[in-house]
């Protein structure tokens, strides 16, 4: 009885917290994460293309990309498909395909981080292209253009 009461109380206490998470806020969060991914990609790109060479920075960007790309599907919960988002509804209607695209990004960013650790410039270049291809592949199908 006591146990039931405690659990019931906890559930009631937890409910407003769960409800308080506004889908609009989640969309803002997702967009910020995507911008961070774009930011690290843009920074890594400047280094990979030999335009700048800040000491030790490439590893940091590559690891950040791999970390940020680990759970991309988690950024697209059901119910976050309206409001100020460029996410297409195909994400949810064709979830298996979207999962595959997210999986490609996870694999590609992990391979890039590994290549950077290895230090071979050619492999780094190829792996970075792979990252770009995974970004493009997903944007092509699942992101709306600006309006």
Partner 1 sequence: MWRTLAGILLLAATAGHASEGEYLFGAAGCLACHTAEDGPPLAGGHALETPFGVFYAPNITPDRETGIGGWTRAQFIAALKHGTAPDGSAYFPAFPYTSYRHMSDADAGLIFDYLQTVQPQRRANQEHELPWWLARWMIRLWQWWVLDDPEPAPPAVREDPVLNRGRYLVEALGHCGECHTPRNWLGVSIRSRHLAGTRDGPEGDKVPNVTPDRDDGIGKWDAEDLGWFLESGELPDGDYTGGLMTEVVDNATSRLTVADRGAMVAYLRSLEPLPGP
**Which residues lie near partner 1 (CB under 8 A)?**
37-45, 49, 51, 129, 132, 135-137, 139-140, 143-147
Q: How far is the CB of 87 from partner 1 (least distance, A)?
A: 12
Q: How far is the CB of 128 from partner 1 (least distance, A)?
A: 9
**SS3 for 128?**
helix
CA distance 87 to 74: 13
Residue 106, burial from CB neighbour count under 10 angstroms (0-12, 13-18, 19+)? middle
Query: Whose Cβ is closer to partner 1: residue 55's or residue 146's?
Result: 146
Residue 84, burial from CB neighbour count under 10 angstroms (0-12, 13-18, 19+)? exposed
Q: How far is the CB of 88 from partner 1 (least distance, A)?
A: 10
Query: Whose Cβ is closer to partner 1: residue 3's or residue 51's?
Result: 51
Helix H segments across 21-120?
Answer: 23-48, 57-68, 90-93, 95-118
Q: How far is the CB of 45 from partner 1 (least distance, A)?
A: 6
Query: Whose Cβ is closer to partner 1: residue 38's or residue 118's?
Result: 38
Query: Whose Cβ is closer to partner 1: residue 5's or residue 146's?
Result: 146
Length of the chain in residues, anyone?
Answer: 147
């Amino acid at each position: 009885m006591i146990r039931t009461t405690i659990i019931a109380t906890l559930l009631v206490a937890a409910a407003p917290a769960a409800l308080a998470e506004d889908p609009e806020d989640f969309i803002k969060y997702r967009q910020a994460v995507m911008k961070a991914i774009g930011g690290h990609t843009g920074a890594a790109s400047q280094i990979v293309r030999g335009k700048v060479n800040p000491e030790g920075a490439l590893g940091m960007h590559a690891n950040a990309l791999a970390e940020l790309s680990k759970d991309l599907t988690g950024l697209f919960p059901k119910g976050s498909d309206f409001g100020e988002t460029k996410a297409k509804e195909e994400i949810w209607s064709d979830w298996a395909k979207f999962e595959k695209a997210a999986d490609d990004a996870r694999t590609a960013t992990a391979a890039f981080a590994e290549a950077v650790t290895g230090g071979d410039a050619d492999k780094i270049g190829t792996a970075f292209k792979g990252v770009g291809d995974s970004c493009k592949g997903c944007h092509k199908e699942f992101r709306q253009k600006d309006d």
